[in-house]
């Protein structure tokens, strides 16, 4: 699995890569710069939209619109050139240390997104589910940094992590109700070797995790065993997701945020978008449906 620099760019906190199959472009965000990007791998062109508040995650919608997870909660973006409009209850409004972070849409069109306490001052981040009618439901609380949201191809299993714990969790999903149960430890990473950030499941049901401060992405079997890894020339990969017409191009966003001048000098590609050809394709991204 040969690693390629798809886009050399100094993203402060690159995150949430999502492949748009009709446009054949990769969308992603730079959270620290309040930007939504779209990258055309054919031409190498990358465009960005800057907003007044950060975008932690997003989902495509069937009509070409976007659902954004922002500072105060969720927002609706009618198209690339529009201004975001608050959507649903603004669950984080007035909570200065919190913003939306990582998120994923399930096969029924519901959006699952978690928050982060940016100051790491309290375990008050939580996982939420946004339903088609715009209602927001608290799923699990008591976290610092919600990350790693992904569903397997059956929709019956959900993966998630509170990054500082170093633990990936797997849940059973009641597809009809959207409720989670039977939380188990899927994999616990040793301290000092990277923390689980964003992840995706491939077509064989294996979970890929980007290890922040670990300089690599790893592939875990359904039993939770590491079976492969791809080492990066940067220490802070943030998420891995699949794209390309055959969903076999694995894209990895990375970050520069928090690195010292000496570390940045040793990692000139920090913040870039990387890719490699995977042996097994990923799963298509589901759209949020309202």
> From CA 47, how far away is CA 31, in angstroms rounded?
15
Q: What angle do CA 87, 95, 161 make, to 5 degrees?
A: 80
* Structure-block tokens of residue 37: 């990007």
Q: Is the dihedral of CA 204, 64, 80, 51 positive or negative?
A: negative
| DSSP bridge partners of 62 | none
Q: Using DSSP bridges, classify how beta strands 136-143 and 146-151 pair: parallel, antiparallel or unpaired.
A: unpaired
Spacing of C-alpha 221 from chain mean position? 20
Question: Among 106, 162, 197, 202, which one carries the catalytic annotation?
Answer: 197
Listed residue (46, 185, 67, 34) closest to 75, CA to CA: 67
> From CA 73, how far away is CA 96, in angstroms rounded?
12
> From CA 228, how far away is CA 221, in angstroms rounded?
9
Active site residue 246: no
CB within 8 Å of 158: residues ≥ 6 apart:
106, 112, 149, 150, 151, 170, 171, 172, 173, 180
User: Percentages helix, strand, coil for the chain, rounded to the nearest 5?
Assistant: 5, 50, 45
> From CA 29, how far away is CA 11, in angstroms rounded?
9
> From CA 114, how far away is CA 16, in angstroms rounded?
13
Active site residues: 197
């Amino acid at each position: 699995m040969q690693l390629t620099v798809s886009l050399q760019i100094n993203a402060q906190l690159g995150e949430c890569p999502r492949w748009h199959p009709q446009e054949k472009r990769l969308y992603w965000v730079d959270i620290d710069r309040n930007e939504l990007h779209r990258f055309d791998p054919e031409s190498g062109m990358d465009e960005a939209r800057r907003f007044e508040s950060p975008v932690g995650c997003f989902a495509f919608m069937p009509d070409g619109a976007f659902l954004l997870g922002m500072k105060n909660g969720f927002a609706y973006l009618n198209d690339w050139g529009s201004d975001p409009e608050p959507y649903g209850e603004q669950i984080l409004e007035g909570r200065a240390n919190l913003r939306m972070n990582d998120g994923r849409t399930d096969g029924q069109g519901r959006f699952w997104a978690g928050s982060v306490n940016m100051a790491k001052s309290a375990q008050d981040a939580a996982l939420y589910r946004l339903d088609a009618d715009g209602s927001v439901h608290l799923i699990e609380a008591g976290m610092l940094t919600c990350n790693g949201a992904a569903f397997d191809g059956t929709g019956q299993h959900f993966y998630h992590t509170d990054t500082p714990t170093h633990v990936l969790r797997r849940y059973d999903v009641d597809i009809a109700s959207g409720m989670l149960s039977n939380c188990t430890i899927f994999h616990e990473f040793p301290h000092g070797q990277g923390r689980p950030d964003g992840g995706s499941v491939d077509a064989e049901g294996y979970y890929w995790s980007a290890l922040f401060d670990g300089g690599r992405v790893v592939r875990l079997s359904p039993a939770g065993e590491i079976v492969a890894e791809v080492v990066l020339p940067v220490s802070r990969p943030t998420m891995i997701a699949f794209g390309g017409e055959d969903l076999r191009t694995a894209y990895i966003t990375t970050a520069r945020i928090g690195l010292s001048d000496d570390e940045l000098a040793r990692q000139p590609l920090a913040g870039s978008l990387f890719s490699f050809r995977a042996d097994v394709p990923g799963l298509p991204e589901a759209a949020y449906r309202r």
